[in-house]
């Protein structure tokens, strides 16, 4: 029997995780809006979660195609997302495989929906991680302190990419005075399989 069917509360925990991620996408002030994203080389960085679906099959992040993490993901697709809600004391660990798309319908739609100000970082003359002669951004002077026009922002399209994560494992942990509660969900051929785990 599928443990999620056996223990309705496991089902509720999975739904709780989905609701938290959905809220994180919709509300830029949500505590899980910008989780830690860890690549297979062990490097970690904050990224804004742009989309999350109920099956955790297409978590979306935006990035600059020149950033080192893109090459890392191309070499090894494993990716982990770590988010924490301190008020609820809930930690989510989501692990799976990622792909980077700089062209195609998903990247095109994400770019089309991005505001000129959001697009501005992709106008940088040097990619993330490049060495600069002086402190500050690598943005061209004309947009450094200005919101680019929509037409100006189009020049950033070539640097824009989406990172799509298909989750294979979800770990839900809530700390509490009673010792806490933890559940782990693994993607199986017939859906998500959940189990209670010692915190």
Ligand X SMILES: Cc1cc2nc3c(=O)[nH]c(=O)nc-3n(C[C@H](O)[C@H](O)[C@H](O)COP(=O)(O)O)c2cc1C
The least distance separating ligand X from the CB of residue 145, rounded to whole angstroms, comes to 20
Region from 10-18, 44-52, 92-100, 107-115 binding ligand X, contact rule CB under 6 A:
44-52
Check binding of 51 to ligand X (CB under 6 A).
no
Residue 107 Ramachandran class (φ > 0 left, ψ -120 to 50 alpha, else beta):
alpha
**Which residue in the set 63, 80, 91, 153 belongs to the binding site for ligand X (CB under 6 A)?**
63
Q: How far apart are CA 124 and CA 159, in angstroms?
A: 9
Binding-site string for ligand X from residue 16 to residue 35, where x marks contact by CB under 6 A and - marks none: ------------------x-
Minimum CB distance to ligand X smaller for 27 or for 43 = 43
Minimum CB distance to ligand X smaller for 5 or for 27 = 27
- The residues in 82-141 that bind ligand X, with binding defined as CB under 6 A, are 128-129
The least distance separating ligand X from the CB of residue 64, rounded to whole angstroms, comes to 6
Where do contacts with ligand X occur on this chain (CB under 6 A)?
A: 34, 43, 45-48, 61-64, 67-69, 128-129
């Amino acid at each position: 029997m599928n443990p999620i069917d056996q223990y309705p509360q496991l089902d509720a925990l999975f739904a709780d995780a989905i609701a938290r991620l959905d809220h994180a996408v919709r509300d830029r002030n949500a505590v899980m809006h910008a989780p830690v994203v860890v690549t297979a080389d062990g490097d970690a960085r904050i990224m804004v979660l742009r989309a999350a679906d109920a099956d955790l099959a297409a978590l979306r992040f935006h990035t600059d195609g020149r950033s080192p993490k893109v090459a890392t993901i191309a070499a090894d697709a494993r990716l982990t997302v770590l988010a924490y809600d301190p008020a609820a004391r809930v930690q989510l660990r989501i692990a799976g495989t990622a792909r980077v798309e700089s062209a195609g319908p998903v990247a095109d739609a994400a770019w089309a929906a991005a505001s000129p100000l959001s697009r501005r970082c992709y106008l940088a003359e040097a990619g993330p991680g490049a060495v600069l002669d002086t402190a500050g951004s690598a943005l061209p002077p004309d947009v450094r302190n200005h919101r680019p026009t929509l037409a100006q922002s189009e020049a950033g399209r070539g640097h824009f990419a989406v990172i799509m994560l298909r989750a294979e494992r979800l770990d839900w942990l809530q700390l509490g005075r009673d010792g806490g509660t933890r559940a782990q969900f693994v993607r199986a051929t017939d859906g998500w399989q959940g189990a209670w785990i010692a915190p």
